[in-house]
Chain A
Amino acid sequence: MQVKEIMSKEVIFVKRSTKLRELLEIFKDFHVFPLVPVLEENKRLVGIVSFRNLIDSLQSYHSDALKLVPFLDEEEQDIFKVDITDDLGDLVTVEDIMEHEYIAIQEDTSLNEVYNLMKLHLKEEFPVVDRAGRLTGRIGIFDILEAVFRQKGIIQ
């Protein structure tokens, strides 16, 4: 069975220019903050935002360049005591906090392989893209489990 047969096709996404405040507004009624794809105009996937990136927005300086710095002491910052102004919600955009390094799954990947990738990378969901890199859906661990239970006849 391939990913495209069971993936959810309705996915909430944001743009690079989406403001932090708008991002939080979208998700405030949800139980959890999911992995959110960042798309360009032509629906091409360019990054993802997760709750870790929300924490990053409270840090003093976050940049891809920091990942390349050896022996960097981890920043010990108490997120409850950060001294920031309330205009952060408008100043920070998705572009500033999104991750460029992420795993995206091709539509024709087998469920077995996706499940293995979830185990290997300790992730519970992935965005799904077509050959041109455009977002077409998302696949979560529950979609896979549901397919297995359906196959076993436990649910219809």
Chain B
Amino acid sequence: MNTILGLGFILFAGLLSAKLIKKIKLPAVTAYLLLGIFIGPSLLKLVPEGILGASGLISNIVLGIIAFGIGQNFSRYHLRRIGKTVVWISVLEACGAWILVTLIFYLILRQPFYLSLLFGAIASATAPAATVMVIREYRAKGNFTDTLLGVVAIDDAWCLIIFAISLAISQAIYAHNLEAFFLAKVFFSSLLSISGAFILGAFLAIVLSVFYRFVRTPTELLILTLGIVFLNIGIAIWLNLSVLLANMFLGAALVNLNRYSFKFFDSLKIIDSPLFLLFFVLAGASLEINILGKLSIIGLSYLIFRVVGKVIGASLGAKISNAATSVRKYLGFGLIPQAGVALGCALVAKSDFPQVGNMIFTTIVATTVIYELIGPLCTKYALRKAGDIIIH
């Protein structure tokens, strides 16, 4: 199969499988992942080499676009509105999963610290799409639903920051082992990676705002926005900065610099869906079924302790911010799904740590499929217990 035929096949089969999975009320992301696993090199071998070879390119572009969108969370308007409950819960549930998974992997599973830290950081991500589907399906309404939506919308921003810090620390540990100036080096390289990404994102946001004055048609706006996002991704890769953070900062700076910034984000929505589809299918295709068996303990620990970390963190955040009892008890159960951001972080880890990359990535793909299947059930349970939906 040639590359273009392969692309056509993936888009068509992706659309079809998403339509099918909607019948059992699951998000399209799950369909794309499962399709990828089936047609990937491990099973049916229907994905052409050309596309598999380009998966790095596609994932960097998609990660850049996702992170750019997440940056919108940092608009002054949005930050004013979200309130302390959402901030406390989202920060603590993300950190709860990060810390607990890292500790369990390091202390109990006896994995190297850099690897434990990477798994912990990826564990902080959440995928709001499945949660929102349940909220819509049961027409959930109320204080609990509002808080849950606020939390799932912003917590991927925290995840990107946690992941950037963890990645810098892991790289430093991996490269230097335990040298004398180790701590200073770790601190310096983290700082450089984060501040460099911030400066790059902010600078390109200014460039985008300036050039916006010369834009006359929606097509030109799309070309300009996509061009700047690509420049940002490319320069970040070239300078060894975090692609995820640089794009999140680009989005965050833009949303505060330009009154009409929503137009930039809206313009990308026209083209991002087929890219997202390809990204998830390719992520599924990269799952290595032959090493899945060896990962059962690691995968199971990740599955369980990520959820435990999130539930404890969310409950602690709700307690600190004096949220309602229902929020304290059940909000963590609405945060179970993981998808794009977790896979994206796993891909970055895979390319930066080739020796353990496949193990990280296969674990995250496999657990993503499981979380996407059980996540909606847990969200339904949480919403019902909180009294925001009535199921007859």
Complex Cα–Cα for A125 and B132 (A):
33
**B76 contact set on A, CB distance < 8 A:** none
**B135 contact set on A, CB distance < 8 A:** 60-61
Complex Cα–Cα for A120 and B153 (A):
29
- Given A61-B140, A61-B141, A71 and B216 contact (CB-CB distance below 8 Å): no
Complex Cα–Cα for A45 and B27 (A):
38
| Residue B242 lies at the interface, judged by CB distance under 8 Å to chain A | no
A70 touches B340 (CB 8 A): yes
Partner of A63, one of B133, B139, B146, B215: B146
Residues 6-29 of chain B: 1 if any A CB is under 8 Å from the residue's CB, otherwise 0? Answer: 000000000000100010000111
**A75 contact set on B, CB distance < 8 A:** 136
Residues 73-95 of chain B: 1 if any A CB is under 8 Å from the residue's CB, otherwise 0? Answer: 10001100100000000000000
**Residue tally, chain A, CB below 8 Å to B:** 24
Residues 94-138 of chain A: 1 if any B CB is under 8 Å from the residue's CB, otherwise 0? Answer: 000000110100000000000010011110000000000000000
A69 touches B29 (CB 8 A): no
| Residue B263 lies at the interface, judged by CB distance under 8 Å to chain A | yes
Q: Could you tell me the distance in whole angstroms from the C-beta of A40 to the nearest C-beta in chain B? A: 16
**A72 contact set on B, CB distance < 8 A:** 128-129, 132
**A64 contact set on B, CB distance < 8 A:** 78, 81
**B174 contact set on A, CB distance < 8 A:** none
Contacts of B188-239 to chain A: CB distance below 8 A: 215-218, 221
Complex Cα–Cα for A73 and B137 (A):
12
**A68 contact set on B, CB distance < 8 A:** 69-70, 72-73, 78, 153-154
A73 touches B141 (CB 8 A): no
**B276 contact set on A, CB distance < 8 A:** 70-71
B136 touches A119 (CB 8 A): no
B217 touches A73 (CB 8 A): no
| Residue A155 lies at the interface, judged by CB distance under 8 Å to chain B | no
Contacts of B142-191 to chain A: CB distance below 8 A: 145-146, 149-150, 152-154, 156
Partner of A73, one of B133, B154, B260, B262: B133
**A66 contact set on B, CB distance < 8 A:** 132, 149, 153
| Residue B369 lies at the interface, judged by CB distance under 8 Å to chain A | no
Contacts of B295-339 to chain A: CB distance below 8 A: 339
Complex Cα–Cα for A81 and B154 (A):
33
Q: Could you tell me the distance in whole angstroms from the C-beta of B259 to the nearest C-beta in chain A? A: 8
A70 touches B217 (CB 8 A): no
